[in-house]
């Protein structure tokens, strides 16, 4: 059974860079069928798409976050990562990693999710 697990600092200071890693187990991160993604959810609010990455390293980002977001992938460690720079209190959220399932990037759907990790931006 595929599992995804987010890991990160929990607390980040304003203006600093938020760094999260998602570890994939129970399946291969190298697949022509899947993309890997990040979605966040501010407390009490809805889901926001952050972006997706392919095992080759190609990326798609939310235009509203694009100037601050960088995603990377380490296939040898079965991990993919999110860096979000210049964070503010508005970036406080639960961050989920997820697999964009078979169907290709355009038609894909998020079929496996991590449990989510709360990141708080505060001094």
Q: Which residues bind other proteins (CB under 8 A)?
A: 39, 45-49, 52, 60-63, 96, 101, 103, 105-111, 113-116
Nearer to other proteins, 49 or 55 (CB): 49
117: how many CB neighbours lie within 10 A of its CB?
Answer: 19
Minimum distance, C-beta of residue 16 to other proteins, in the bound complex (Å) = 26
Nearer to other proteins, 62 or 85 (CB): 62
Output the CA–CA distances (angstroms, integers) from residue 70 to 18, 37, 45, 59, in the order listed.
Answer: 10, 12, 24, 9
Nearer to other proteins, 30 or 94 (CB): 94
| Backbone torsions φ then ψ of 112, nearest 5 degrees | -130, 135
Minimum distance, C-beta of residue 34 to other proteins, in the bound complex (Å) = 14
Nearer to other proteins, 67 or 76 (CB): 67
d(CA 86, CA 51): 17
Minimum distance, C-beta of residue 49 to other proteins, in the bound complex (Å) = 5
d(CA 96, CA 76): 22
Minimum distance, C-beta of residue 123 to other proteins, in the bound complex (Å) = 27
Output the CA–CA distances (angstroms, integers) from residue 58 to 53, 70, 118, 120, in the order listed.
Answer: 6, 11, 26, 28
């Amino acid at each position: 059974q595929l599992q995804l697990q987010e890991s990160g600092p929990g607390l980040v200071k304003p203006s600093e860079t938020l760094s999260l890693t998602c570890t994939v187990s129970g399946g291969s991160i190298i697949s022509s069928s899947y993309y890997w993604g990040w979605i966040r959810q501010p407390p009490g609010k809805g889901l926001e798409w952050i972006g997706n990455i392919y095992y080759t390293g190609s990326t798609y980002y939310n235009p509203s976050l694009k100037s601050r977001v960088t995603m990377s992938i380490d296939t040898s460690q079965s991990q993919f990562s999110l860096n979000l720079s210049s964070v503010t209190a508005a970036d406080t959220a639960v961050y989920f990693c997820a697999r964009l399932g078979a169907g290709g990037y355009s038609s894909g759907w998020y079929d496996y999710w991590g449990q989510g990790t709360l990141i708080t931006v505060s001094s």
